[in-house]
């Protein structure tokens, strides 16, 4: 079941992101709009598009979120492997995705400040290590 959902979610998310899918959606809405006079702009006519778009949106949220979660986890695993494999990389960065937003932002700021200064900011590296040890 899990594998089937993964396949369906991936293919659906991919298909929904194609220009043809957008054009199909536009054509459906245009067709619905053109049919308004035929149905006398009735409440039922309006309910059809409202219900259809609500259902489509509701289902797509879960499919797209599943695809994004899987992509993010795979990318994180790849980055963790690169950190592990690179000799001078700091292994403390493996798993930082589990820190709070505030802690990650502090690490990001410290890294940006230390770019291009080699070992001149050794103290900042120690503060990053302290933040990472808190998890």
What interhelical angle do 2-16 and 43-85 show, nearest 10?
110
Confidence of residue 132 (pLDDT cuts 50, 70, 90): confident
Residue 11 token pair: 């293919």
Give yes or no for a contact between 64 and 13, defined as CB atoms under 8 angstroms apart. Answer: yes
* Mean pLDDT, rounded, for 10-16: 91
Question: How far is residue 28's CA from residue 104's CA, in Å, rounded to a whole number?
Answer: 44
Are 76 and 97 contacting, i.e. CB atoms less than 8 angstroms apart?
yes
**Whose CA is closest to 112, among 96, 128, 97?**
128
Residue 40 pLDDT > 80: yes
Cα angle for residues 121, 122, 124 (degrees, 5° grid):
70
Quote the percentage of the chain above a pLDDT of 70: 90
Per residue in 46-85, pLDDT (tens digit) is 999 999 999 999 999 998 899 899 999 999 999 999 999 9
- CA–CA dist 24, 52 (Å, integer): 14
Q: Where does the pLDDT of residue 116 fall: very low under 50, low under 70, confident under 90, or very high at 90 and above? A: low
């Amino acid at each position: 079941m899990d594998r089937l959902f993964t396949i369906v979610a991936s293919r659906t998310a991919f298909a929904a992101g194609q220009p043809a899918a957008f054009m199909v959606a536009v054509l459906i809405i245009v067709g619905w709009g053109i049919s308004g006079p035929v149905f006398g702009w009735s409440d039922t006519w309006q309910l059809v598009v409202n219900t259809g778009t609500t259902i489509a949106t509701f289902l797509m949220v879960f499919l797209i979120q599943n695809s994004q979660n899987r992509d993010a986890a795979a990318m994180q695993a790849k980055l963790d492997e690169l950190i592990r494999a690179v000799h001078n990389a700091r292994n403390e960065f493996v798993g930082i995705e589990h820190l709070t937003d505030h802690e990650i932002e502090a690490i990001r700021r410290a890294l940006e400040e230390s770019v291009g200064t080699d070992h001149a900011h050794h103290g900042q590296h120690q503060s990053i290590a302290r933040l990472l040890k808190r998890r």
